Amino acid sequence: MEKNTPSFTSKPADQGDLFMRLSNHEPDYLAANAPELDIEQEFMGAIKHTLRTARKHGLSRDRIVDRMNLCLPEDLYVTKRQIDAWCAASQEYKHFPAIYLAPFIWAVGGIVSPLEVITRVLGLHVIDEHEQMAAELGRTTLIKVQANNKERDIKKAFQLFEEKK
């Protein structure tokens, strides 16, 4: 009885090419129909969760405010009272201003959950430098695979052309 060994050079007919599917994927933010973008509850939940997590790591709201003010321009500052008001559901001005988001994330040591709420609803992702390099390596690999496939197809066409002569 002959042994059936799998071939690693060809793929099953029903298996799609992952690289081609990834290169043809359209991001959600380019969709023709407007998605539901009401993220207020989830965003504020992420802000509050970030504050609790920072507190567990020894960063009080006062310390977070001090750190935020270190990276804000002199004419722009934040107070603990403002953060408390932004996080209180009973306050009239309970919305967290976007201008303070980057200093807030830096002040809490890079906890990006509020930013992830914003990007996720748009079909995007927050990635760090290591993940960015991995993504770039993936794109480079995709380009190389596509170039190799094109080269192979041209060689086949050229070989057929030479055989017909």
Question: pLDDT tens digit string along 95-146?
Answer: 889 999 999 999 998 888 898 888 888 888 888 899 999 999 999 999 999 9
pLDDT tens digits along 26-43: 666 677 777 778 888 899
From the list 84, 80, 79, 102, the residue with the least C-alpha distance to 94 is: 84
Structure-token match 């070989």, residue found? 159
Higher-confidence residue: 89 or 135? 135
Domain positions in the chain are: 37-126, 127-165
Contact yes or no for 108/59 (Cβ under 8 A): yes
- Mean confidence (pLDDT) of the chain: 83
